[in-house]
């Protein structure tokens, strides 16, 4: 099973930008930890980061028919992008939203979340550990889907 991790704008600057909010861990280290967990869990994992909304939409659409689930940190686009919301909804894949900081304890404009209603779940405020939690959650969701599919196959026989 394949999971695609999509990172939004400025996440390529982790470890440099606002360490008091986002911590000192760089994106490459987060991805390395996720890759280790994926290999232990028998998952294929792919990483993608872009500062451009349209590229993120394109990547979400590419997941249709190619991936079993998406983990996304849409970053600032969380609060503004109907296009990303619509793309997540269109591909209809289990999608877990991650935010390093607790967006609900920050500026008022960050409390507007355009994508949460079309995601399977959201993990906010756990720092980089939130990505690990998303991986654990994704394994659980994919296992549940697999179990339901196997049960349906048995009932059809």
Residue-wise pLDDT for 53-76, tens only, equals: 999 999 999 999 999 999 999 999
The helix-helix angle for 53-62 and 82-91 (nearest 10°) equals 0
Q: What CATH number is attached to the domain comprising 122? A: 3.40.50.9100
Q: Please measure the distance between the N-terminal and C-terminal CA atoms of the chain and give it in whole angstroms.
A: 25
| Active-site position among 64, 77, 99, 132 | 99
User: pLDDT tens for residues 115-143?
Assistant: 999 999 999 999 999 999 999 999 999 99
Domain span holding position 94: 2-156
Task: Evaluate if residue 40 carries a pLDDT over 80.
Answer: yes
31 is catalytic: no
Considering the entire predicted model, what is its pTM?
0.93
Residues in the chain: 157
Q: What is the pLDDT of residue 108?
A: 82
Q: How far is CA 29 from CA 5, 25, 84, 94, in A?
A: 14, 6, 26, 24
User: How many domains, the chain?
Assistant: 1
Q: Examine the residue annotation and report whether 22 is marked as an active-site residue of this protein.
A: yes
Statement: residue 157 has pLDDT above 80: no
Phi-psi region of 95 (alpha: psi -120 to 50; beta: other; left: phi over 0): beta
Which residue of the set 22, 64, 104, 132 is catalytic?
Answer: 22
């Amino acid at each position: 099973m394949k999971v695609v991790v999509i990172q939004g704008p400025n996440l390529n600057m982790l470890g440099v930008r606002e360490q008091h909010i986002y911590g000192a861990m760089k994106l490459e280290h987060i991805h390395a930890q996720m890759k280790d967990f994926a290999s232990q869990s028998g998952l294929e994992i792919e990483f993608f980061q872009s500062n451009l909304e349209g590229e993120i939409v394109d990547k979400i659409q590419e997941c249709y028919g190619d991936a079993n689930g998406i983990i996304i940190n849409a970053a600032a686009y969380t609060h503004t992008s109907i296009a990303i919301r619509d793309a997540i909804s269109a591909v209809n894949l289990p999608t877990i939203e991650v935010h390093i900081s607790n967006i609900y304890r920050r500026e008022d404009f960050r409390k507007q979340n355009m994508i949460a209603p079309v995601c399977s779940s959201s993990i906010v405020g756990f720092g980089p550990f939130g990505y690990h939690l998303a991986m654990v959650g994704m394994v659980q969701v994919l296992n549940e889907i697999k179990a339901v599919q196997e049960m349906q196959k048995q009932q059809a026989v």
